[in-house]
Chain A
Amino acid sequence: MAVIFVLSVMGCGVAVPTKAEIKVVRSQDMTIDDNNIVSMAPRRLLEEITKELKSRYKNIEIVDGLLFRDTAFPEGGWRLKDLFVPEVRRRVNEQLDLDYLALVGAIETSHGEEKGFMVPGLLGALSVEGASTITAIIIDLRTGELVSRIVSEARGTAYIFNYIIIIAANEPQIESGTAESLANEIGKVITELAKSGKTRLAVLAIEDMGTLNNVTEEKKVEPLSEEQLLYETETLNILLEKTESGEPESQ
């Protein structure tokens, strides 16, 4: 009781991390878009995955991502499709002796509806469900084949309890959980492919050029086809004729 009293006076918030429910799926359903580029932009995510791989899979040697990018794309551009050019792969193999490339997609996080009640400044109990997904593809740089696609998903529910100015909450580790399980699955796939032998892997990100999840993209205005142009012109002409003749419909 004394503790609650002290906390009430001081004001206190505590968030306890909890484990998330993890689901990992492998598939062969893979497509490469012309806009896909190989990137080092999500530094923290790449570091987390690399760290996880290094700690769990001693048979996998991680090659520096920036070194890979600069070796594979000395002229820049960093377009993923260029990696499938045999000459590019040969250069990477000769200079880095690299076997596999794991390309990690953007982390996608969403949350559900808030459930519960809250009387501001007095009492409350709320819950909200969250989910986080990351996709990765693995490329065999010796053969130039897309080997596997891995989708890692983590789900969890956050609960928030409030009593006057004390707030206690749990924080499901959905983002770190999904990154960790993705790294683990990448490690498993690479180990299976390498048949438990030593192998070299680079981990980078795959992303679309010029888009951030929170940035509204400008809509591109597509040029009209000849047929559409003819139709639009005819419609305009009809409307103009009606306007000149004073028909109310055209107003």
Chain B
Amino acid sequence: MQGDIKYSFVASECHMFNILRLTIFVNRLGMFAAVVLLNSCYVGPGSLSALSIGADPHVYKLYPGEVLAESEIVRINMADAYYLIIDDYKVARPDYQQVLVLPGEHVIRWGKEFMISVMVDSSMFREGEGRAVVDLIAGHTYELYADRTTGQGYSMFFWIQDAESGEVIAGTKKP
């Protein structure tokens, strides 16, 4: 066996994701059109999971003790982040889309895998990670964003934004 699948941290079965792997696998052979059609016309298991996108997010209580009131905790939306490591505790977005933590200083790392045009990068994927030490305020909701520019010499941007005020509290927002 060789070549670990990069997505192995996604801990349980995800048919759509397997199909994505399959499409990447086929894509390597230059079958881009067929892959697009495979995704758009896929009728196998998991094809209905796309309908659950608007469902309630799974929330991870990442603070100890009893459940606290909204005004006493901080809510972090994964938004663009595919994974989050907060104070060394890791969370993958397929498992949880929101994390609840206590207010105060936290070390946050969040990552995203960008799809890149084959004309720009033959690997077609590039992973980037944002890191920040932030002081989170009780009762606030923060969102983790990641975006990139396109074309040759593209740049990746990672920033954390206050959901209510829109203020960027860490990182650099994509211009």
Interface positions of A (Cβ within 8 A of B): 10-17, 37, 39-45, 47-48, 66, 70, 73-78, 106-114, 118, 120-121, 124, 126, 128-129, 131, 158, 160, 162, 165, 167, 169, 171, 173, 175-176, 179, 205, 207, 209-215
Cα distance, A120 to B37, chains bound together (Å): 14
A112, B1: Cβ atoms under 8 Å?
Answer: yes
Q: Would you list the 6 A-B pairs with minimal beta carbon distance, nearest first?
A: A13-B38, A76-B64, A11-B37, A42-B11, A210-B88, A44-B12
Looking at the complex, which one of A41, A109, A114 makes contact with B91 (CB distance below 8 Å)?
Answer: A41
Cα distance, A171 to B38, chains bound together (Å): 14
Looking at the complex, which one of B6, B30, B96 makes contact with A120 (CB distance below 8 Å)?
Answer: B30
B45, A112: Cβ atoms under 8 Å?
Answer: no
A110, B19: Cβ atoms under 8 Å?
Answer: no
A114, B42: Cβ atoms under 8 Å?
Answer: no
14 A-B pairs in the complex with CB atoms less than 8 angstroms apart: A11-B38, A15-B18, A15-B42, A41-B95, A44-B14, A74-B65, A106-B9, A110-B2, A162-B34, A165-B33, A205-B11, A210-B90, A212-B9, A212-B85
User: How far is the CB of A17 from the nearest CB of chain B, in Å?
Assistant: 6
Cα distance, A15 to B13, chains bound together (Å): 15
Residues of chain B within 8 A of A12, CB atoms compared? 37, 41, 43
Residues of chain A within 8 A of B96, CB atoms compared? 41, 43
B90, A41: Cβ atoms under 8 Å?
Answer: yes
Cα distance, A167 to B37, chains bound together (Å): 9
Interface positions of B (Cβ within 8 A of A): 1-9, 11-15, 18-19, 22, 25-26, 29-31, 33-34, 37-45, 58, 60-61, 63-66, 83, 85, 88-92, 94-96, 109, 111, 127, 129
User: How far is the CB of A59 from the nearest CB of chain B, in Å?
Assistant: 25
Cα distance, A210 to B90, chains bound together (Å): 6
Residues of chain A within 8 A of B9, CB atoms compared? 106, 212-215
Centre residue among B65, B89, B96 by max chain A CB count within 10 A = B89
A107, B8: Cβ atoms under 8 Å?
Answer: yes
User: How far is the CB of B24 from the nearest CB of chain A, in Å?
Assistant: 11
Looking at the complex, which one of B15, B60, B85, B109 makes contact with A171 (CB distance below 8 Å)?
Answer: B15
B83, A167: Cβ atoms under 8 Å?
Answer: no
Looking at the complex, which one of B8, B37, B39, B95 makes contact with A109 (CB distance below 8 Å)?
Answer: B8
Cα distance, A191 to B19, chains bound together (Å): 37
Cα distance, A209 to B85, chains bound together (Å): 9
Cα distance, A113 to B88, chains bound together (Å): 34
Residues of chain B within 8 A of A131, CB atoms compared? 1
Cα distance, A17 to B13, chains bound together (Å): 12
Cα distance, A45 to B26, chains bound together (Å): 28
Residues of chain A within 8 A of B109, CB atoms compared? 215
Cα distance, A13 to B85, chains bound together (Å): 36
A107, B85: Cβ atoms under 8 Å?
Answer: no
Given contacts A109-B8, A110-B1, contact A162 B13 (CB under 8 A): no
Cα distance, A215 to B8, chains bound together (Å): 11
Looking at the complex, which one of A15, A66, A169, A179 makes contact with B61 (CB distance below 8 Å)?
Answer: A66
B11, A107: Cβ atoms under 8 Å?
Answer: yes
Centre residue among B34, B60, B92 by max chain A CB count within 10 A = B34
Residues of chain A within 8 A of B26, CB atoms compared? 118, 160, 162, 167
Centre residue among B8, B33, B45, B85 by max chain A CB count within 10 A = B8
B41, A158: Cβ atoms under 8 Å?
Answer: no
Residues of chain B within 8 A of A162, CB atoms compared? 26, 31, 34
Looking at the complex, which one of B5, B25, B60 makes contact with A40 (CB distance below 8 Å)?
Answer: B60
Residues of chain A within 8 A of B85, CB atoms compared? 210, 212, 215
Residues of chain A within 8 A of B60, CB atoms compared? 40-41, 43
B44, A113: Cβ atoms under 8 Å?
Answer: no
Given contacts A41-B90, A171-B44, A212-B85, contact A121 B33 (CB under 8 A): yes
User: How far is the CB of A211 from the nearest CB of chain B, in Å?
Assistant: 7
B61, A120: Cβ atoms under 8 Å?
Answer: no
Knowing that A17-B15, A70-B65, A214-B9 are A-B contacts, what are 5 other residue pairs whose CB atoms are under 8 Å apart, sorted by A's residue number? A11-B37, A162-B34, A165-B37, A175-B14, A215-B129
